[in-house]
Amino acid sequence: MTIDFSLDDEIVQLADKVRTFMSEVVIPAEAELVHGAHGYPDELRKRLQSAARDAGIFAPHVPTEYGGLGLDTRGQAVVFEIAGRSLLGPPALNCAAPDEGNMLLLEKVASDAQKIKYLAPLAAGDVRSSFAMTEPAPGAGSDPNRLATRAELTDDGWVINGTKWFITGADGAAFFIVMTRTGTDKSTMLLVDADNPGVEVTRRIDSLDSITIGGHCEVVFTDCRVPEDAVLGAADRGFEYAQVRLAPARLTHCMRWLGIAQRAHEFAVHYASQREMFGSTEAALGMAQLQFADNEIDLAASRALIWQAAYALDQGQRAAQETSVAKTFVAEATNRVVDRALQLCGALGVSHDAPLASFLAEIRPFRIYDGPSEAHRWALARRAVRRYGVEAPR
């Protein structure tokens, strides 16, 4: 298979603009983040988004008809990585999770009326959203077949009952896309406005990562009534629609975290090149050079896997194999890169005088969400057995 990794001049120019914006606007704004605080003021998000609009780089993934730049997945891979160099970069460009994945799902599945009500303000950055799928044990987590939240169709519309858990961005979201069970082996996605009296964000969960605005929350649906036209797409096709969102969304996560890992590596190399010890600089020591080399390998391999999966998606392929491979490798490789960078910086790396400690806390959960590494490895192994297990290789 021939894979085209060449970049159009427009993407190269856009990447340069985003890189300048990150260094001149976003990274300086990191000084406003408060260590130990969960999230950051929504005013900061809106201010950065306004600056991104002025710079002509806002919503790079959104179709032009909704005010975005309409990039394909390969273009997103370039821009999202640069935006990912700061934890504030993706929200500044309005390409942060979970909103970015929800925009894609709404674009592909929503009715025209739903796009006007939900997609348009989300794409404009006027509101935030949440994707409510994960549940406390024994409900849905890595295994979506454990889905326990139910929706019943009545004469007055749908009635939802159930508890969702670790729902990112729920506090302050304008609406939820809720995965519900509507049959023995069927599910339906329903759009629920946050001001619906039947939905309650009961708590923010204190977690290792803390930068996401709106946190990770427990959300309870109690006799939550929504009209029949609240169905996103068609009833009983929720699991099918989830695939529209999940494969591209896990890949865009990879793009963003690659940016953080790249910045962590650059920070460590610069620090080690200045740090004098044992009669030379740290960067001249073999053990440090080994760490540098391993980081270079992990970063290059991660980028290649992301671009390969992006190309497959742009060709209209489902790309389940490619995105699973990329998600598993990149989640682990970027974690290794940031961990090595922190180690190279010693006490400075552990302290919050440098960004590395925060980077490590934020990136570690990526090995769990969007499918833990173990679940992806299981899926990859099953596909390998289907491909190669019947006939002996020749």
Where do you find CATH 1.10.540.10 in the chain? Answer: 9-123
Judge whether residue 1 has pLDDT over 70: no
For residues 162 and 183, what is the distance between their CA atoms, to the nearest angstrom?
A: 15
Q: Tell me which fold the domain 9-123 belongs to.
A: Butyryl-Coa Dehydrogenase, subunit A; domain 1 (1.10.540)
The set of residues, in sequence order, having a beta carbon less than 8 Å from that of 185 and lying 6+ positions away, is 145
Task: State the average pLDDT over residues 298-316.
Answer: 97
The pLDDT tens digits of the residues spanning 141-154 come to 999 999 999 999 99
For residues 15 and 243, what is the distance between their CA atoms, to the nearest angstrom?
A: 29
The pLDDT tens digits of the residues spanning 61-71 come to 999 999 999 99
The angle formed by the CA atoms of residues 198, 244 and 359, to the nearest 5 degrees, is 80
The pLDDT tens digits of the residues spanning 63-101 come to 999 999 999 999 999 999 999 999 999 999 999 999 999
Where do you find CATH 1.20.140.10 in the chain? Answer: 239-388
The pLDDT tens digits of the residues spanning 334-361 come to 999 999 999 999 999 999 999 999 999 9
* CATH number assigned to the domain covering 129-236: 2.40.110.10
> Options 1.10.540.10, 3.30.2290.10, 3.30.499.10, 1.20.140.10; which CATH number does 239-388 get?
1.20.140.10
Q: How confident is the model at residue 183 (pLDDT cuts 50, 70, 90)?
A: confident
For residues 357 and 206, what is the distance between their CA atoms, to the nearest angstrom?
A: 17
Whether the Cβ atoms of residue 305 and residue 297 lie closer than 8 Å to each other: no
The pLDDT tens digits of the residues spanning 246-275 come to 899 999 999 999 999 999 999 999 999 999
For residues 148 and 70, what is the distance between their CA atoms, to the nearest angstrom?
A: 36
